Amino acid sequence: MSAKIKFYGYKKCGTCIKAEKYLRNANIEFEFIDITQHPPAAEELAEFSENADVSLNKLFNTSGLQYRELNIKEKLPSLTNQEILDLLASNGRLIKRPLITDGKRVSIGFREEQFEKVWGK
């Protein structure tokens, strides 16, 4: 594989475990990055959103405890794109995971059909 795949995830996350297993079974090498310790920078998140063709709102882990505690759902409509990016970059637990990229392709979350499209050989 030419480009290094970065896997932003969390070891205790069931969805991340499934995604890791999928990539290993497909013999796809990747670098695991703990998203809670090392969240992507705001600029990277903007690029991921664009490359995955999803709105910034779709980068949020809406089922996460901190999403609910911080009332993000209520705040989102009044936030600018830059404020959303800064918020996500400052707290990896707010980011939907796993977030996987090789610099061009991006997948957010884990659905096997989506993984096949993005990472299938």
Strand residue runs (E) in the chain: 6-9, 31-34, 99-101, 106-108
Question: What 8-state DSSP symbol labels residue 36?
Answer: T
Band (pLDDT 50/70/90 cuts) for residue 97 is very high
pLDDT at 72: 95
**Segment 71-81 mean pLDDT:** 95
Q: Convert the pLDDT of each residue in 10-46 to its tens digit.
A: 999 999 999 999 999 999 999 999 999 999 999 999 9
**Segment 53-67 mean pLDDT:** 94
Tokens 């991006």 locate to 106
Q: Give the domains, in start order, of the chain with CATH numbers.
A: 6-119 (3.40.30.10)
